[in-house]
Amino acid sequence: MPQDSSQAGACRPPHRVAVIVGEGSNPFELGVATEIFGLRRPELGIPWYDFALCAASPAVAVHAGFFTLSGVAGLDAADAADTVIVPNRPDPHVPADPAVLAAIRRAALRGARLVSFCTGAFTLAAAGVLDGRRATTHWRWAESFAARHPAVRLEPDVLFVEDGQVLTAAGSAAALDLSLHLVRRDHGAEAANAVSRRLVFAAHRDGGQRQFVERPVPEVPDESLAPVLDWVRERLDRPLTVPDLADRAAVSAATLHRRFRAQLGTTPLAWLTGERVALACRLMERGEQRLDRVARLSGLGTAANLRTQLRRRTGLSPTAYRARFGP
């Protein structure tokens, strides 16, 4: 008898995530990885991750020597992992542990997914796995990173970058953004939304780290976009335009565009399209099979436009998306 999709999912081994802890690793980022991938989530009803912390030595002092982490697995745990999260660097100018770099290279050779948070991009670059790839790191270290690793295509203005099997996050808080993105990739938007609600954190933050770079405080700060964003989210099935958003915000279209760029790091139209695609994903995950209905309810208009926008933003066709994340 053929298995249904739920039985097949239950029979698959869980995705293995290993976090390599290095000398001086940031406890917050270790906590992010543990919270997202390590905690059990039976309420979701899906197989969760097999999670492990590992290190090159039996005891590792974390950032500023606040405490010493012991009792974690050896680097052989990274050799068996599907996703390897590499250690960040309190001082990126200090050479990385050769044993850690060797473990990263082994993971890359066998096709494991490699992830860095904040200055962990220096670790990936030192291992040689970022050459020719797009990547990001914390804005304070961007200039130093670009000078030391010119073969890496640095994108300093984003929260995280996905380039094939290698993903990099800009800063400690951006580790949450990237981790939720991985959950969305592995288990769908509904699972990522459920985890984000538990964290009381946005499932998807638009924009990039440019909004957090130190800059002079303007004398008259722009008003928050939150009211108009909430208003739009309640009306995604309607044919909204940028002028409609500007009218709601009681500003000109040019002013609205400037505020979106300053506060979200994107354009009003790009943000609106992203919200429509996210709603379409949720509808398909909940079992809606009719593409024309999904397109209409999400405001994407036609099934053809839905296919185009979904593939552009997720890399999947509607059929592949439903097969992967549908009920």
Is there a contact between 174 and 116 (Cβ–Cβ < 8 Å)?
no
Question: pLDDT exceeding 70 applies to what percent of the chain?
Answer: 90
> Which pLDDT score, from 0 to 100, does residue 308 have?
94
Summarize pLDDT for 177-219 with one digit per residue, the tens.
899 999 998 998 888 888 988 887 766 565 555 434 443 334 4
pLDDT at 279 over 60: yes
Across 278-284, average pLDDT: 91
CATH superfamily of 224-325: Homeodomain-like (1.10.10.60)
Across 148-157, average pLDDT: 92
Across 100-116, average pLDDT: 97
The first and second tokens of residue 1, run together, are 């008898």
| 3-class DSSP assignment, residue 84 | strand
C-alpha to C-alpha distance for 78 and 55, rounded to whole angstroms: 9
The b-or-e profile of 82-94 (16+ CB within 10 A means b, else e) is bbbbbbbbbebee
pLDDT at 4 over 80: no
Phi, psi (rounded to 5 degrees) for 114: -110, 135
Q: Which helix (H) or strand (E) holds 20?
A: strand 16-20
> Which pLDDT score, from 0 to 100, does residue 53 have?
95
> Which pLDDT score, from 0 to 100, does residue 5 have?
41
Q: Does domain 12-199 have CATH number 3.40.50.880?
A: yes
Select the highest-mean-pLDDT range: 101-105, 216-220, 268-272. 101-105
pLDDT at 101 over 90: yes
pLDDT at 146 over 90: yes
Kindly report the pTM of this predicted structure.
0.71
- pLDDT averaged over every residue in the chain: 86
pLDDT at 256 over 80: yes
The dihedral through the CA atoms of 143, 145, 151, 154 has a sign that is negative
C-alpha to C-alpha distance for 7 and 47, rounded to whole angstroms: 11
Domain ranges in the chain?
12-199, 224-325
Summarize pLDDT for 54-99 with one digit per residue, the tens.
999 999 988 877 889 998 999 999 999 999 999 888 888 889 999 9
Across 5-22, average pLDDT: 73
Question: pLDDT exceeding 90 applies to what percent of the chain?
Answer: 54
> Which pLDDT score, from 0 to 100, does residue 236 have?
92
> Which pLDDT score, from 0 to 100, does residue 207 have?
52
> Which pLDDT score, from 0 to 100, does residue 97 have?
93
* Locus of tokens 């990173």: 145
> Which pLDDT score, from 0 to 100, does residue 202 have?
64
